[in-house]
Amino acid sequence: MGEDRNTGMAGVDSVEKIIRDIPKAELHVHLEGTLEPDLMFDIAKRNGVKLTHSSVEELRSSYSFENLEDFLRVYFEGSRVLLRELDFFEVTMAYLLNARSQNVLRAEMFFAPQAHTRKGVGIEQVISGIHEACLEAESSLGISTAILMCFLRELGPDQAMETLELALPFKDWITGVGLGSVELGNPPVAFREVFDRARSEGFETCAHAGEEGPAEYIREAVEQLKVSRIDHGNRVLEDESLVEMLAQRRIPLTLCPLSNVKLKVVHGLEDYPIEEMCDRGLVVTVNSDDPAYFGGYINENFVAVQQALGLDCEWISTLAKNSFEASFLDRPGKDEMFSKLTDYWNLIGREAGA
């Protein structure tokens, strides 16, 4: 699987320490889903928004979900507090500080402008706040960033197209577009014209598919929307020809283990199919999705999968390498990240020989 995979280091550093220290990218995280309860209460107080729950502890205790729609009700309730440019700056900066502390060198973050424009917030406030935080984090933390505009599929393709048009004045700040929220009953094919337009404007494209929806939604996203990355994609193994197509085209899947458990997409991580996916030639990555709600950021997701499946550091190295390969970085940018991975393993090797 490549020279960056090292099996001989587990005796020097635990796999868990390697997870903490290894350079990695996060490709599937929703900024609204990184809004921790304490920051939510602070912003709510500043903006005069009354929350349903009376304390941080009471709010945290409510984070128990039966399915995706159950979660989304709580998710959109929390995002009500985000009303001003400063709010979007703060939630983005808080996430990027956390990500960098977990050795994330590249963060590609979703935001959902429709969740905010429908409550009267101007799209320029949303995008400007996020963009300013990205600039500051790139300068002060040395983290590479990209923002991805995620359409809410239950609002339909017409509203998605309107949102795309509203965002065009800021397209130099936006790397790509995605498709998220309520999957069942909202097939990707309905958004074909929106994605055609987005690609014509130079945006990268990805789509949530095969999380709760069928494997056919993954096929639609690839063949009809022509996306270059699938978010989630858990159901892919149900369709052999689809597996072959994704493997041949090297179309990555951005898996989110803790999210899948919390939303009951999978029964438990002991049966998580990440090894089978890799063995079948699929490019898979590990991500946190909505970490404030699902109990862990990227390293916690790595550790949970590693402990459940007994993955060694060779696997962790492969997943880290996949994260950079699956990113929307250009080739020089990816090569720079691969070089940092090599430097990391060289450092571990020198420490082992010391």
C-alpha distances (whole Å) from 227 to each of 12, 128, 222, 321 are 41, 26, 5, 21
Amino acid occupying residue 74: V
In angstroms, the CA 169 to CA 186 distance is: 28
Active site residue 336: no
Instruction: Tell me which of 36, 211, 220, 314 is the catalytic residue.
Output: 211
Name all contacts of 237-246 with Cβ < 8 Å and 24+ positions apart.
237/273, 237/276, 237/277, 237/280, 238/214, 239/215, 242/215, 242/218, 243/280, 243/281, 243/282, 245/219, 246/218, 246/222, 246/282
C-alpha distances (whole Å) from 286 to each of 136, 142, 259 are 26, 21, 11
In angstroms, the CA 228 to CA 328 distance is: 9
Structure tokens at 190: 């309905």
In angstroms, the CA 255 to CA 27 distance is: 9
Asked whether the beta carbons of 213 and 183 are under 8 A apart, the reply is: yes
Compute the chain's Rg from CA coordinates: 19
The 3-state DSSP composition of the chain as helix, strand, coil percent (nearest 5) reads 60, 10, 30
Q: What is the DSSP letter of 5?
A: -
Indicate the SS3 state at residue 148.
Answer: strand
Burial of 346 from C-beta contacts in 10 A (0-12 / 13-18 / 19+): exposed
In angstroms, the CA 95 to CA 323 distance is: 18
Structure tokens at 202: 């130079």
Residues with a known catalytic role: 211
